[in-house]
Amino acid sequence: MASVHLENVGVEFAIHNRVSRSLRHELYRVVGGTVKTQNRAVWVEALKNISFSLKDGDRLALLGHNGAGKTTLLRVIAGIYPPTSGRIEVTGRRSSMTDITMGMDTEMTGRDNIVARLVLMGYTFTEAKRLVPQIAEFSELGDYLMLPARTYSTGMFMRLAFAIATSTTPEILILDEMLGAGDAHFVEKARERLLEFVDRAKIMVLAAHNQAMLKEYCKQAIWLHHGEMRFFTTVDAAWAAYVAAPSGIEPS
């Protein structure tokens, strides 16, 4: 059984730099949350006291303005960011589509990147090598897989990253928008695989700005506002509260 449990989770980032009002506003604009200063460092509270639980069958939407903390929360669930306060417990194999190129090295060949990325995702070397042929076939990169990734176009690199990230169906699927992957002709193929992932995953967490998409794929929703959880309710109720609220409050 897959599960996700967060209890009073907070995430803070320390930015060591000269404290100034302009810096405070720039960090607030880019990261969101709350900005504070302490000991000549700027601290960004990206998430504050986030608590909720998910179980098999749950499909959760994340709503909020840019910088509200959606991507940070996705990365916490994915295990990329550890909480600086509170605790998180996750049961089940996770697949995060928020950082699909993480761990890839442009100096390595495409094939070596497949193995390295899969090991980073938690597979053994034996399991990773066994998955190479099917990933190579889906990526459609052919002999390019024997060349350094720095020789790839951006589209080719994203195709390889997507093929690796979707090589096996996860129990917990973490999505930041319903992304495409590289060249235009590859997008539909990627979309079909992603929809298969959505159907097979036991738990899904999706951050997006499209109401129709969220209603189609999700049952529950969290509205995040400057790093805080305002509502955990149905998609319709959370969306209504989100669009009715002011766009934001400037930091003091």
Task: Supply the pLDDT for residue 251.
Answer: 37
Q: Which domain holds residue 184?
A: 110-201
Q: Establish if 175 belongs to a structural domain.
A: yes
Q: What pLDDT does residue 250 have?
A: 37
pLDDT digits (tens, 9 = 90+) for 74-123: 999 999 899 999 999 999 988 888 888 888 999 999 999 999 999 888 78
Instruction: Pick out the chain residues at pLDDT < 70.
Output: 15-41, 178-184, 246-252
Write out the H or E segment, with its range, that includes residue 197.
helix 184-200
Give the pLDDT of residue 41: 63
Whole-number pLDDT of residue 34: 58
- Both tokens assigned to 21: 């009002």
CA distances from 27 to 5, 86, 88, 177, 251 (A): 29, 24, 26, 23, 10
Token digits for 35?
Answer: 């900005």
Q: What angle do CA 54, 88, 205 make, to 5 degrees?
A: 40
* Same domain, residue pair 149 and 170: yes
Question: Residues 128, 185: one domain?
Answer: yes
Same-domain pairing of 228 and 163 = no
* 128 assigned to some structural domain: yes
Please indicate, yes or no, whether residues 196 and 119 belong to a single structural domain of this protein.
yes
- By CB atoms closer than 10 A (0-12, 13-18, 19+), residue 202 is buried
CA-wise closest residue to 141 among 120, 113, 116, 173: 113
Same domain as 164, residue 84? no
| Position 122 in a domain | yes
> For position 179, what pLDDT does the model report?
57
Q: Which of 198, 212, 228 is nearest to 64 (CA)?
A: 228
Same domain (yes/no): 188, 145: yes
pLDDT at 252: 31
The reported pLDDT for the residue numbered 178 is 59
Asked whether residue 137 is domain-assigned, the answer is yes
Distance CA 57, CA 110 (A): 35
Question: Any idea what the Cα angle at residue 156 is, between residues 107 and 197, rounded to 5°?
Answer: 110
Coil, helix or strand at residue 188: helix
Question: Of the residues 201, 220, 235, which one is the last residue of a structural domain?
Answer: 201
Question: 87 and 7 in one domain?
Answer: yes
- Burial class for 116, CB neighbours closer than 10 Å (0-12, 13-18, 19+): middle
- The domain total for the chain is 2
Q: Say if residue 186 is in the same domain as residue 137.
A: yes
| Distance, CA of 187 to CA of 138 (rounded, Å) | 12
Q: Does residue 104 lie in a domain region?
A: no
Same domain, 47 and 75: yes
C-alpha distance across the termini of the chain, in Å: 45
229: domain CATH number is 3.40.50.300
Residue 105 falls inside a structural domain: no
Distance CA 139, CA 241 (A): 41
Q: Does residue 221 belong to any structural domain of this protein?
A: yes
* Other CB atoms within 10 A of residue 21 CB: 9
Residue 170 and residue 226 share a domain = no
In a domain, 140, yes or no: yes
Same domain, 117 and 189: yes
Same domain, 239 and 218: yes
